[in-house]
Amino acid sequence: MVGSMAGLLAQSGIESEVRNDILGGASGEIAPGETWVELWVLETSQVASAREIILASLKQPEDGDWQCGRCDEANPGSFEICWNCGIPGNG
């Protein structure tokens, strides 16, 4: 996912670098929260726009996404129950 973010930024002319990806293969040993890789924007002046691009891409609903009627969280179409509150919602 971080790799695709880097690609997205590259399309906008923003150079970035993925760090900490050395931990990517060790998720069995490490809590998920610690396996997050970091995306570093090389040009400091581009950090703000890079952040906006990424936030916008995260908000973009994909086909089949659905929104939970109870907590309003967005869920991927592959989820049958809300990841946040656990109620069935898809279809």
- In this chain, which of 37, 71, 74, 90 binds Zn ion, going by CB under 5 A? 71
| Contact between 67 and Zn ion per CB under 5 A | no
The SS3 call for residue 38 is: strand
| Contact between 85 and Zn ion per CB under 5 A | yes
Give yes or no for a contact between 36 and 42, defined as CB atoms under 8 angstroms apart.
Answer: no
- In this chain, which of 27, 56, 70, 76 binds Zn ion, going by CB under 5 A? 70
Q: Please name the helix (run of DSSP H) or strand (run of DSSP E) that holds residue 67, with its range, or none.
A: strand 66-67
Site residues (CB under 5 A) for Zn ion?
A: 68, 70-71, 73, 82, 84-85
